[in-house]
Structure 1
Amino acid sequence: MINNTIVRFDSDIVPGRSIGGISLGDCAEDIFYRVADIFDVEIFEFENFGVRYVCYEIAGGAISFSAKDDGKITALRCKPPYKGRFDRRFYPGITAGELKRVSRRQELMDGYLIVDRNYLIYYSMPDDIDDFNSFSDLDDDVVFEELHVGGLR
């Protein structure tokens, strides 16, 4: 059944649940058919640890999601130009300096940055960052482009 919710690039981000009107567990094909006439959608396949996934990138990756063979969305992320936020503080494209100001705790887990011990929302580490000991070592102008919802624990 196709959900008629409108996909928006300014909707609140719900940790562990949704971005822009798309939710974890939704049917990927239903979402594709809902947005394909409105936005450019790039589709590609990849394999991770022997599991095949299909990835959909809406509007150059403003919202991206991946699904396994069953068609259910298992990974959901956003990056600029997505404008929505979580808790009015966290958004894709935030700088390390801003994260230091708006969060109490930052920790790394499996190559992701978790803020304030909320394991249902997290940032991908920038590709060019690989030599540091702690978050406080990062320059304030380092940008965290990609924000994920899901569960790291």
Structure 2
Amino acid sequence: MLAREGVIDELAPVLTPAGEQRLARVDLPGYAVPDSDLMAGQRRLLNGRLHVAVEGSAYRLGPSEYRATIEHPQRVQAPAVSLEDNEAGGMRHALERPQEWSDVGMLVARLGSNLSSVSPAAVRALLRSVGLDEAALRRLH
């Protein structure tokens, strides 16, 4: 029997611009743009292209105004990754797995840029006071 390779768990299916299905790493190596001071959820023109910050990294947005995507900054043949925006400053790319996030503070912070400074202890207290658990919070993503 073949042993399972851990690297397989870090891959997800994506479509290339030519419509071919490929596997990509969920952490999007090479897609982030270095030296950006964008805050979470913030969008800005950098070098003539629109960029957005998602979880501490800035990514170049694709040209479509109908479907937000993250493009690789150098490889035009690389798959574009869908970007989901909750219109409250919370963004995540389609390969992220909120069901695997272990930090309750991260679950709340990723709902909106204005929630990024809330401490995990305050999040837990808030969840208890409104009768929600981490599973319910994950479903919001």
Q: Same fold (TM over 0.5)?
A: no
- Relative contact order: is structure 1 or structure 2 higher (C-alpha 8 Å, sep ≥ 6)? 1
More helix by share: 2
Indicate the structure (1 or 2) with the bigger Cα radius of gyration: 2
TM-score (norm 2): 0.31
